[in-house]
């Protein structure tokens, strides 16, 4: 989990190249100004259509689809057909008429123009570009299972990563580790996978602990002999599961501000929906009078997985999950130990255990529109299906009726043609403008995502030592070209309203909370033309430890509805 830097933010001198530009504190609107900022937001939904045999169905048109938000129909405003990574867009019939010469169907008799919509390949837009994360859960996997999957993963990446795609390798080893940042070179990821094969996995230790509990349960003659050990084991598993889900949620937060499609290829030996569920059930079957219902309800993590899926859908993240354990068989501990003294329960114990571990993998994939690979020792075919999703799909967009209400909205896509199977994400939470700005700032901080239509520049002043050199006060200078922001006329001024977001990341991966501050600017009417050619400089200070840092800045023009994100590096100290 990310640790937070202790930091201080101090507003310092505010300067501008033109002395006539002034800042008004508080960022409140002047009474004689009326502002209506129109925010356009499009919800993009990737849709996968197959027949009942699982074969992909292409060639459908916009009019073949219907979208419902919260059971109410909405108009499809954006429509793409993507095949083999290429965006296919129909040419309107008017364009076809201009481009085509009529052909004679008989001597002296010209044919009518072909009005059928033809398709051409378009450059893939930013909102369709792919960020793929290979997420290896080392804490919930056995090294042998993991390394067996890696061979097929390397083939998958080598064959399916395109020049427009970005791929990252992340592992969870009780904390998040970026093994290889986003790259379009699959060989970098493949080399990192080889390095990761030497890292320990925790799955063997966890299985040994469970085997001990199974043995105690089998040998006990009364429930009190094992109930405390069973509860302690469930509590440990639940605690570990909480951190595992928390890391997945945190990582999605890093991805949230990135444009385009985001997919997480999650590899583990499974996660328990209810830690120790099968053991509680076995105890109930063995000991009369023992009830497992209360214990199971205490450790039910289904709500956490629902929240994880909802957050993924909100951030346009699709889960593709792999059960690295493969084709599961009965464990020796279950058959030999538990079956020896309690006949008939060994099969029940393992089947419930396997289902419990695979249930979250299936759930996350289904809710986010992805696919799960389970019950196979060779994931090649499953990865081929995932590759099909990444490069062949329909993209439907619509403008929601509500914007920034913070609520979760359900999405349902239907195809008018009968007998087809449609797969897509379940819904999304409508983010506020502030949420989206924080997401973009965090993505700039973590991944270097930059989009700077406002032309913002960031410089650093001379750091000053503090607390005997343990911390440094670092001036940050944000330059904003006034000809790039909207200056709204009022009675005596032209006014711009900006909001600045700032965060920092040190070499340990410790991240400061995102600070934000309003920057209202007023320019006297008679100096407007002079001011338009100037740079407005906003200065603030951060308190940092010595060493290399990355500082991300997000700026929003609240009148013009334009945003910028950028990241700069600074070395603090000696």
Chain segment 489-505, per-residue pLDDT in tens: 988 899 999 999 999 99
pLDDT, average across residues 234-245: 96
| Model confidence pLDDT, tens digit, residues 350-386 | 889 999 999 999 999 999 999 999 999 999 999 999 9
Read off φ and ψ for residue 149, nearest 5 degrees: -70, -30
pLDDT band at 291 (very low <50, low <70, confident <90, very high): confident
| Model confidence pLDDT, tens digit, residues 136-163 | 999 999 999 999 999 999 999 999 998 8
The answer to whether 538 and 553 are in contact (CB under 8 A) is no
Domains of the chain plus CATH, in order, are 9-39+433-572 (2.60.40.10), 127-203+226-330+349-391 (3.40.50.410)
pLDDT band at 119 (very low <50, low <70, confident <90, very high): low
* Residue 440 clears pLDDT 60, i.e. is over it: yes
* Residue 459 clears pLDDT 60, i.e. is over it: yes
Highest mean pLDDT among 263-267, 334-338, 403-407: 263-267
pLDDT for 108: 53
* Residue 574 clears pLDDT 50, i.e. is over it: yes
Read off φ and ψ for residue 24, nearest 5 degrees: -105, 125
Higher pLDDT, 391 or 121: 391
Cα 39 from Cα 290, distance rounded (Å): 58
Q: Which residues pair with 501 in a beta bridge?
A: 516, 554
Residue from 392, 382, 381, 384 nearest 423 by CA? 392
pLDDT, average across residues 429-449: 94
The answer to which of 228-232, 340-344, 368-372 has the lowest mean pLDDT is 340-344
| Sign of the dihedral through C-alpha 391, 318, 78, 396 | positive
Cα 484 from Cα 533, distance rounded (Å): 10
* Residue 428 clears pLDDT 90, i.e. is over it: yes
pLDDT for 98: 43
pLDDT band at 526 (very low <50, low <70, confident <90, very high): confident
The answer to which of 196-200, 287-291, 514-518, 564-568 has the lowest mean pLDDT is 287-291
Outline where DSSP puts E strands in 96-254. 104-106, 109-110, 119-122, 130-137, 166-172, 176-183
- The DSSP secondary structure of 166-208, one letter per residue, reads EEEEEEESSSEEEEEEEES-HHHHHHHHHHHTTS--SHHHHHH
Mean pLDDT of the residues in the chain:
85
Cα 372 from Cα 228, distance rounded (Å): 35
pLDDT band at 4 (very low <50, low <70, confident <90, very high): very low
pLDDT for 104: 52
Tokens representing residue 194 in the block = 């080889």
* Residue 213 clears pLDDT 60, i.e. is over it: yes
The burial of 386, by beta-carbon neighbours within 10 Å (0-12 exposed, 13-18 middle, 19 or more buried), is given as buried
Strand 515-524 relative to strand 22-23, pairing: antiparallel
| Model confidence pLDDT, tens digit, residues 5-58 | 333 333 333 333 333 344 443 333 333 444 444 455 889 999 999 999 999 999
Q: Which residues pair with 140 in a beta bridge?
A: none
In the numeric block, the tokens 């792999």 are attached to 322
CA angle 363, 368, 374 (to 5 degrees): 45
Residue from 132, 86, 90, 134 nearest 115 by CA? 90
* Residue 103 clears pLDDT 80, i.e. is over it: no
pLDDT, average across residues 476-498: 93
CA angle 541, 543, 544 (to 5 degrees): 125
Cα 387 from Cα 189, distance rounded (Å): 17
């Amino acid at each position: 989990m990310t640790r937070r830097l202790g930091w201080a933010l101090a507003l310092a001198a505010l300067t501008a190249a033109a002395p006539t530009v002034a800042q008004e504190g508080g960022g409140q609107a002047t009474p004689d100004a009326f502002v209506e900022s129109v925010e356009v937001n499009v919800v993009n939904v990737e849709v996968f259509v197959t027949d009942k045999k699982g074969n992909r169905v292409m060639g459908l048109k916009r009019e073949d689809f219907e979208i419902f938000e919260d059971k109410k129909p909405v108009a499809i405003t954006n429509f793409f057909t993507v095949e083999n990574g290429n965006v296919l867009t129909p040419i309107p019939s008017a364009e076809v008429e201009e481009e085509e010469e009529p052909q004679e169907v008989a001597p002296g008799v010209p044919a009518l123009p072909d009005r059928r919509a033809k398709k051409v390949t378009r450059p893939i837009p930013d909102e369709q570009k792919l960020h793929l994360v290979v997420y290896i859960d080392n804490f919930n996997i056995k090294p042998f299972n993991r390394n067996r999957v890696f061979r097929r993963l390397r083939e998958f990446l080598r064959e399916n990563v395109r020049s427009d795609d970005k791929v990252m390798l992340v592992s969870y080893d009780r904390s998040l580790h970026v093994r290889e940042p986003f790259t379009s070179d699959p060989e970098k990821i493949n080399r990192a996978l080889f390095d990761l094969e030497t890292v320990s996995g925790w799955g063997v230790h966890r299985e040994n602990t469970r085997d001990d509990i199974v043995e105690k349960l089998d040998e006990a003659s009364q429930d009190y002999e094992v109930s405390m050990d069973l509860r302690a084991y469930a509590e440990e598993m639940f605690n570990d599961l909480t951190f595992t889900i928390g890391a997945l949620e945190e990582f999605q937060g890093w991805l949230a501000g990135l444009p385009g499609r985001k997919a997480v290829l999650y590899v583990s030996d499974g996660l328990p929906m209810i830690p120790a569920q099968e053991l509680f059930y076995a105890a109930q079957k063995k000991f009369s009078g023992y009830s497992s219902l209360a214990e199971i309800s205490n450790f039910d993590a289904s709500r956490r997985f629902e929240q994880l899926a909802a957050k993924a859908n909100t951030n346009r993240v699709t889960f593709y999950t792999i059960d690295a354990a493969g084709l599961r068989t009965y464990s020796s501990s279950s058959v030999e130990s538990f079956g020896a003294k309690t006949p008939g329960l060994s099969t029940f114990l393992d089947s419930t255990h396997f289902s419990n571990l695979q249930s979250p993998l299936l759930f996350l994939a289904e809710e986010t529109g992805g696919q799960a690979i389970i019950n196979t020792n060779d994931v090649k075919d499953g990865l081929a299906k995932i590759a099909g999703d990444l490069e062949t799909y329909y993209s439907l967009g619509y403008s929601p009726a509500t914007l920034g209400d913070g609520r979760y909205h359900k999405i349902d896509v239907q195809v008018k043609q009968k007998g087809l199977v449609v797969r897509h994400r379940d819904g999304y939470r409508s983010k506020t403008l502030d949420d989206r700005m924080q997401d973009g700032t965090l993505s700039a901080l973590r991944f270097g995502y930059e989009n700077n239509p406002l032309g913002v520049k960031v410089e650093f002043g001379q750091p000053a030592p503090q607390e005997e050199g343990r911390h440094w006060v670092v001036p940050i200078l944000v330059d904003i070209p006034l000809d790039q922001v909207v200056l709204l006329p009022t009675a005596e001024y032209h006014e711009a309203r900006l909001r600045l977001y700032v965060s920092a990341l040190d070499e340990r991966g410790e991240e400061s909370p995102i600070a934000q501050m309003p920057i209202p600017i007023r320019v006297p009417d008679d100096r407007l033309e002079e001011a338009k050619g100037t740079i407005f400089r906003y200065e603030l200070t951060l308190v940092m430890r010595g060493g290399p840092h990355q500082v991300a800045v997000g700026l929003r023009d609240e009148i013009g509805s334009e945003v910028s994100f950028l990241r700069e590096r600074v070395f603090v100290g000696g």
